[in-house]
Amino acid sequence: MRFILRRLGFLLLSLWAAATINFVLPRLMPGNPAILMIGRFKGQISPQALHALELQFGVTHTPLWSQYLTYLNNLVHGQWGLSLTYYPVPVSKIIAESLPWTVGLVGVATVLSVFIGVMMGIWTAWHRGGKWDAILPTVSTFTAALPYFWLALILLYLLGYLWHWFPMAHAYSSSLTPSWSFAFISNMLYHAILPALTIIISSIGGWLLGMRNNMVQTLGEDYVLFGEARGLKSNRLMFQYAARNAILPSMTGFAMAIGFVVGGALLTEVVFSYPGLGYQLLAAVQNEDYPLMQGLFLIIAFSVLVANFLVELLYGKLDPRTRGGASH
Amino acid sequence: MSAKILVSTDHVTVRFPRPGAPDLVASRAVSLHIATQETLGLVGESGSGKTTMGRTLVRLLTPSAGTVWFEGKDVTHIHGSALMRYHRNAQMIFQDPFASLNPFHTVGHHLARPLARLRHLKGHERQEALDELLTLVGLTPSAVFREKYPHELSGGQRQRVAIARALAGGPSFIVADEPVSMLDVSLRAEILTLLESLQERRGLSYLYITHDLASARYLSHRIAVMYGGSLVEIATAEELVQAPAHPYTRLLLAATPGSPHKGPLPETMQGAPDLSADRIGCPFAPRCPSVMDQCSQVMPELKAVSPSHQAACFLNT
Amino acid sequence: MTEALVVDSLHVSYITQSGLVPALRNVSLSIASNEILGLVGESGSGKSTMAQAVMRLLKPDVATVDGRILVDGQDLYQLTPEELRLTRWRKIAMVFQSSMNALNPVLSIQEHFADTMEAHIPGITRDEILKRTADLLEQVRLDPAVARSYAHELSGGMRQRVVIALSLALDPSVLIMDEPTTALDVVVQRSILDEIAALQKQRQLAVLFISHDFNLVSGLANRIAVMYAGEIMEITDRGMALEDAREHHPYTQGLMRAAPRLVGTKVSIEGIPGEPPDMTQLGPGCPFFDRCPERLPMCRTTPLPSKSGRVYIRCHAMPDPVVEKVKRP
Ligand SMILES: Nc1ncnc2c1ncn2[C@@H]1O[C@H](COP(=O)(O)OP(=O)(O)O)[C@@H](O)[C@H]1O
Ligand SMILES: Nc1ncnc2c1ncn2[C@@H]1O[C@H](COP(=O)(O)OP(=O)(O)O)[C@@H](O)[C@H]1O
Ligand code: SF4
Ligand SMILES: [Mg+2]
Ligand SMILES: [Mg+2]
């Protein structure tokens, strides 16, 4: 319990730090890009939008600390400014609309990739020297080395353009309106398969190889041999003795991967015109939409931190040594 | 042995600060002395403060209180070039010869450095001194061993290199910290007999740290027993082994392989001694079968059992 | 007296990049139920290899194993994987050399016991497991509350006791102990040895007790096998081991002369000059030839005879021990 509280405190502290950095950075940029940008937009956007920008970047005469307090207050209340690209839509609304698509596609694909990759890593290491151990790691080395962009385009070309197995773009057919109907959901899943496949193919090899290496090392540990000597059943040995120890070094990697899901697989969403956060990020950069960019960076930072926190809790569950305080 | 005292400690205390707890006292007001050409054995279970005393004697550690004397001079707080001169006279050999040698350097390199640093030898003279050292510790032909790397040597040979390195400055006093505990029996015997013969040929004094009473008896003239940072008994080797006065020494003897002791060990419980600064009384009291009321209140002082034998136990008063 | 463990013509070679490297060569011995056989030898002589080969723990890609291992008359190397799994621990159990790492760091001690029992006793209840665990821990003089701890919370001596308690969990007939007390302080070591001796008597165990310390083994074992370069050079009786060194194999004599004595008159010690042979370069004769003070010209080329029996000496210069002097355990 004390462990959880400590980690929770640490999480809140780092969230606050991320928010503060997000506040400070634009104000530190050399040559004050805010003013430059405001200048560029003069005459093109409404005075309200300009005012919003000025507020956002501190081109006002209120003292810094009061700007900071206003910023924090707005942040907590979901007022993250107005997007310039979609003016006057609030940044928070754009994020709220794109987030489910990203989490649905990239999140599910990443979790699948981690799960399948880890399982295959465990399997190949356990049967090392066997048939699958000859094939899977070699294939994985190959797929892990493929440039993602290239892989995505090739699959899109073959499976989408040439053979028409899957749609070429978007999250669902433009003829449908989102609803909880079977027609819509099946259409949505159909659209998700190809992009998900590209994510899985490109990342699964890394998980497989990493897990296999850790696992092979753990299999050499005395406690695994001792378990075998005790006549334990092989499932118990494979998972509770070998895999559970072998997975610990990869946990930080999982945290990062899960956290970055929210950043969206930028390339995936761009290649497949998928309306997630990555797609919005590209749009924001292209349009110099600083409020949107800031909002997106903040949400990415937050999700990395939260994922780290969750993984650490899981780590504590898996490894009693980190719980501490329980020595005799 | 009534010869001249070479090195001694007077109430040496070494404390290590611990965050959020009282200091750890690794050695507590320890007074002992070693005469010229004498070997003092220092025995006790791990964590009893033996290494700490050894490091303090060669001034790799500075004690928190007390004095270290060498040839009648106070060396407790010397530093800089005075400390360097002291290290010509006082050297240490460590338990793990592999860890104390650099895998990327040849045997010759390991010996050349102290020859240059401590004795300022150069060129041809240094080569000669180097070959002499290798021959002295039995690494012959020296021309072959000079060029070898640590991984090309066996455990026993590595320990010989470590001994040669300790001898490079021409010391009169050597602390040997468990020099054979990681070696096989037959290699152990070779290193122990080497230390024996070096003592004779070079007139060395040793502090021989070990947890093995049999080898301490073999190599030492006198044996000191430490427990929980305190010196609990000191006597000539034979007297200590044949007529131990302190209950901890008796326990240690009974437990050593080859002891004729039968039946349960003379202890009331198992456990490690409390090293914290606020401990009072005898460190062995919680395990002692002869414990008395005063034992957990007052630390007994070392008292003479015979002219060549002292023990810190209320049983002796 | 029945033989609980028979090792018959055991050969083991490790598979290395530079080819097969022999580690055990034609090892034969047997241990009766209710007997402790000590196995001593320098490090690298093949003691741990012996322990693992007897448990059939050497994987085919690690080493080649040839010979028979009979546990209660059953050849371990003829069993199917499932039969082997069921035989291990129920018939033959083992205490590892480095019990520091023998416990899974992420499982509690209780779970180790539960795993072991559940793997062998179908339908055992949770209550039964808890009760048995507590009994076993008490037998090795540990507080049953230790069951809730994890390995990292225990001292080296406690971990060693846990592993010994685990080895007794299924009441095996043969117990292999590979240097079970090395790296422990002498007092802890002695108290664990005392417990091993008591448990062995009480449960009529056949124990193969491996150590590098001749003194330690001679205080515990009924017979002592001396291993050198993967071969057993001598099996001697405890009674004889304490008598005249000159009645032993030249290598055993060397070991006895190398260890300083704790009691009796102080005698000088001497090492055995030289180093153990390179196992890839062994000649046809006695492997101890290079270091042997008693060697004869024939020793270099004439193979040592194969021997079996309760006690024997394999040496061209030494007769077999006089059997009348051998005391029965
Ligand atoms: N540099 C250090 N910092 C903190 N504690 C130390 C240090 N060196 C030794 N100790 C502690 O002092 C005690 C005595 O250690 P040591 O002198 O190494 O004993 P021994 O050599 O008898 O095993 C131990 O509890 C050890 O952990
Ligand atoms: N996995 C292995 N691969 C190759 N050689 C090994 C392996 N394990 C042990 N050996 C070698 O086998 C010999 C015997 O080792 P071991 O049985 O561990 O000896 P001991 O237990 O007597 O110290 C040594 O020379 C050692 O280097
Ligand atoms: S057979 Fe020969 S070389 Fe071998 S131990 Fe006997 S005497 Fe020595
Ligand atoms: Mg030490
Ligand atoms: Mg071994």
Which residue of A223, A314, A315 to mutate against C (max C Cβ within 10 Å)?
Answer: A223
Question: For residues A65 and A69, what is the distance between their CA atoms, to the nearest angstrom?
Answer: 6
Tell me: do A70 and A178 sit in the same domain: no
- What average pLDDT does range C165-187 have in this prediction? 91
Lowest mean pLDDT: which of A288-292, B84-88, C9-13? A288-292
In this predicted model, what pLDDT tens digit does every residue of C222-261 receive, in sequence order?
999 999 999 999 999 887 766 677 789 999 999 999 999 9
Nearest to B75 by CA among B88, B62, B64: B62
- What average pLDDT does range A9-38 have in this prediction? 75
One-letter amino acid of A12: L
Tell me: do A177 and A284 sit in the same domain: yes
Asked whether at least 3 C-beta pairs link A and C within 8 Å, the reply is: yes
Tokens 């003691």 sit on residue = C47
Tell me: do A212 and A65 sit in the same domain: no
Interface residue B160 vs chain C (CB under 8 A): no
Residue B1 pLDDT grade (very low, low, confident, very high; cuts 50, 70, 90): very low
- Contact (Cβ atoms closer than 8 angstroms) between residue C104 and residue A241: yes
| Residues 6+ positions from B96 with CB-CB distance below 8 Å | B182
Residue C201 pLDDT grade (very low, low, confident, very high; cuts 50, 70, 90): very high
DSSP state of A161: I
Question: For residues B143 and B150, what is the distance between their CA atoms, to the nearest angstrom?
Answer: 15
Domain containing residue A209: 91-318
Peptide bond into B141 cis (omega under 30): yes
Q: What pLDDT was estimated at residue B4? A: 92
Q: How many CA atoms lie within 13 A of C241 on its CB side?
A: 28
Q: How many CA atoms lie within 13 A of A224 on its CB side?
A: 20
Q: What pLDDT was estimated at residue B179? A: 93
Q: What pLDDT was estimated at residue B162? A: 93
Q: Is the pLDDT of residue C216 over 50?
A: yes
Q: Tell me the chain C residues in contact with residue A231 when contact means C-beta distances shorter than 8 Å.
A: 84-90, 116, 119-120
Interface residue C275 vs chain B (CB under 8 A): yes
The dihedral region occupied by B263, where left means phi > 0, alpha psi between -120 and 50, and beta the remainder, is: left
DSSP state of A31: T
Question: How would you classify the pairing of strands C312-313 and C231-237?
Answer: antiparallel
**Extents of the domains making up chain C:** 3-91+172-327, 106-171
Q: What pLDDT was estimated at residue C89? A: 95
SS3 state of residue C291:
helix
Using alpha carbons only, give the angle B213, B214, B220 rounded to the nearest 5 degrees. Answer: 80
Q: What pLDDT was estimated at residue C324? A: 53
Q: Tell me the chain C residues in contact with residue A222 when contact means C-beta distances shorter than 8 Å.
A: 96, 98, 101-102
Question: How far apart, in Å, are the Cα atoms of B225 and each of B44, B65, B248, B292, C286?
Answer: 6, 21, 9, 21, 44
In this predicted model, what pLDDT tens digit does every residue of A297-320 receive, in sequence order?
888 888 888 888 888 888 888 888
Question: For residues B160 and B190, what is the distance between their CA atoms, to the nearest angstrom?
Answer: 10
SS3 state of residue C124:
coil
Lowest mean pLDDT: which of A283-297, B205-219, B254-268, C32-46? A283-297
| Residues 6+ positions from C201 with CB-CB distance below 8 Å | C34
SS3 state of residue C273:
coil
| Subunit contact C88:A326, Cβ cutoff 8 A | no
| Subunit contact A231:C153, Cβ cutoff 8 A | no
Using alpha carbons only, give the angle A8, A10, A15 rounded to the nearest 5 degrees. Answer: 95
Q: Is the pLDDT of residue A43 over 70?
A: no
Q: What pLDDT was estimated at residue C241? A: 65
CATH of the domain at A140: 1.10.3720.10
C155 in contact with ligand 2, CB cutoff 6 A: no
Tell me: do A62 and A19 sit in the same domain: yes
Interface subset of C 128-167, CB within 8 angstroms of A: 149-150, 152-154, 163, 166
Q: Is the pLDDT of residue B78 over 50?
A: yes
Whether residue A327 is contained in a domain is answered as no
Nearest to C164 by CA among C141, C143, C145: C141
Q: Does residue B182 or residue C7 have the better pLDDT?
A: C7
Residues for chain C: how many in total? 329
Lowest mean pLDDT: which of A65-79, B241-255, B271-285, C70-84? A65-79
- What average pLDDT does range C127-145 have in this prediction? 92
Whether residue A324 is contained in a domain is answered as no
Q: What pLDDT was estimated at residue C188? A: 86
- Contact (Cβ atoms closer than 8 angstroms) between residue A202 and residue A271: no
Here the tokens at position C296 are: 């004869």
Secondary structure element (H or E) that encloses residue C210, with its range:
strand C206-211
| Subunit contact B214:C255, Cβ cutoff 8 A | no
- Contact (Cβ atoms closer than 8 angstroms) between residue A98 and residue A106: no
Lowest mean pLDDT: which of A150-159, B128-137, C192-201? A150-159
- Contact (Cβ atoms closer than 8 angstroms) between residue B218 and residue B192: yes
Question: For residues A298 and A88, what is the distance between their CA atoms, to the nearest angstrom?
Answer: 20
Residue A216 pLDDT grade (very low, low, confident, very high; cuts 50, 70, 90): very high
Residue B276 pLDDT grade (very low, low, confident, very high; cuts 50, 70, 90): very high
Q: What is the CA C143 to chain-centroid distance, rounded?
A: 28
Interface residue C267 vs chain B (CB under 8 A): no
- What average pLDDT does range A230-239 have in this prediction? 94
Q: Is the pLDDT of residue A295 over 60?
A: yes
Interface partners of chain C (CB pairs < 8 Å, 3 or more) are: A, B
φ, ψ of residue B130 to 5 degrees: the values are -65, -50
Ligand 1 atom nearest the C-alpha of B178 is 21
Residue A155 pLDDT grade (very low, low, confident, very high; cuts 50, 70, 90): confident
SS3 state of residue C72:
coil
Residue C170 pLDDT grade (very low, low, confident, very high; cuts 50, 70, 90): very high
In this predicted model, what pLDDT tens digit does every residue of B120-144 receive, in sequence order?
888 899 999 999 999 999 998 999 9
Q: Is the pLDDT of residue A151 over 90?
A: no
Which residue of A133, A223, A230, A235 to mutate against C (max C Cβ within 10 Å)?
Answer: A230
Nearest to B121 by CA among B132, B106, B105: B132
Residues linked to residue C13 through DSSP beta bridges, in sequence order:
C22, C64
Q: What pLDDT was estimated at residue C1? A: 60
SS3 state of residue C104:
coil
Question: How far apart, in Å, are the Cα atoms of A205 and each of A136, A168, A200, A209, B35?
Answer: 9, 25, 9, 6, 69
Q: Does residue B119 or residue C120 have the better pLDDT?
A: C120
SS3 state of residue C196:
helix
Secondary structure element (H or E) that encloses residue C255, with its range:
helix C250-258
Closest-CA residue, ligand 3 atom 4, reads C286
* DSSP per position, A204-224: HHHHHHHHHHHHHHHHTSHHH
| Subunit contact C216:B267, Cβ cutoff 8 A | no
CA of C282 to the centre of ligand 2 (A): 16
Average pLDDT, chain A: 82
Closest-CA residue, ligand 1 atom 5, reads B16
Question: How far apart, in Å, are the Cα atoms of C140 and each of C118, C134, C164?
Answer: 21, 10, 7
Question: For residues A258 and A111, what is the distance between their CA atoms, to the nearest angstrom?
Answer: 8
| Residues 6+ positions from C121 with CB-CB distance below 8 Å | C170
Question: For residues A153 and A306, what is the distance between their CA atoms, to the nearest angstrom?
Answer: 33
Q: Does residue A281 or residue C172 have the better pLDDT?
A: C172
Residues for chain A: how many in total? 328
Question: For residues C247 and C228, what is the distance between their CA atoms, to the nearest angstrom?
Answer: 18
Domain end residue (candidates: A76, A100, A135):
A76
* DSSP per position, B211-256: S-HHHHHHH-SEEEEEETTEEEEEEEHHHHHHS--SHHHHHHHHHS
Could you say which of B192, B213, B219 has the minimum Cβ distance to residue C262?
B213
Query: For domain B5-316, is the CATH number 3.40.50.300?
Result: yes
Q: What pLDDT was estimated at residue A172? A: 77
Question: For residues B126 and B143, what is the distance between their CA atoms, to the nearest angstrom?
Answer: 14
- What average pLDDT does range A114-139 have in this prediction? 89
Q: What pLDDT was estimated at residue A58? A: 60
Reported pTM: 0.85
Q: How far is B218 from chain C (nearest CA, A)?
A: 6
Q: Where are the alpha helices (DSSP H) in A156-276?
A: 182-219, 222-229, 234-236, 244-246, 251-261, 266-271
| Subunit contact B214:C269, Cβ cutoff 8 A | no
Ligand 2 atom nearest the C-alpha of C179 is 21
C289 in contact with ligand 3, CB cutoff 6 A: yes
**Cβ atoms < 10 Å from Cβ of C39:** 29
Q: What percent of chain A is predicted at pLDDT more than 70?
A: 86
Residue A71 pLDDT grade (very low, low, confident, very high; cuts 50, 70, 90): confident
Q: Is the pLDDT of residue B264 over 60?
A: yes
DSSP state of B292: -
Name the percent of chain B in helix, strand, coil, to the closest 5: 35, 25, 40
| Residues 6+ positions from B163 with CB-CB distance below 8 Å | B93, B137, B179, B191, B194, B195, B198
Ligand 3 atom nearest the C-alpha of C304 is 1
- Contact (Cβ atoms closer than 8 angstroms) between residue A262 and residue A102: yes
Tell me: do A28 and A110 sit in the same domain: no
Q: Where are the alpha helices (DSSP H) in chain B?
A: 50-57, 80-89, 107-119, 123-136, 142-146, 155-167, 185-202, 213-219, 237-242, 247-255
Q: What pLDDT was estimated at residue C328? A: 47
**Cβ atoms < 10 Å from Cβ of C308:** 12
**Extents of the domains making up chain B:** 5-316
Residue A184 pLDDT grade (very low, low, confident, very high; cuts 50, 70, 90): confident
Using alpha carbons only, give the angle A146, A147, A148 rounded to the nearest 5 degrees. Answer: 105
Task: Identify the top-confidence range among A48-62, A259-273, C149-163.
Answer: C149-163
Domain count within chain A: 2
* DSSP per position, A105-136: IIIHHHHHHHHHHHHHHHHHHHTTTSHHHHHH
Q: Tell me the chain C residues in contact with residue A241 when contact means C-beta distances shorter than 8 Å.
A: 104, 107
Query: For domain C3-91+172-327, is the CATH number 3.40.50.300?
Result: yes
Average pLDDT, chain B: 93
Interface residue C82 vs chain A (CB under 8 A): no
C23 in contact with ligand 2, CB cutoff 6 A: yes
| Subunit contact C259:B260, Cβ cutoff 8 A | no
Whether residue A326 is contained in a domain is answered as no
Q: Is the pLDDT of residue A140 over 90?
A: no
- What average pLDDT does range C100-108 have in this prediction? 91
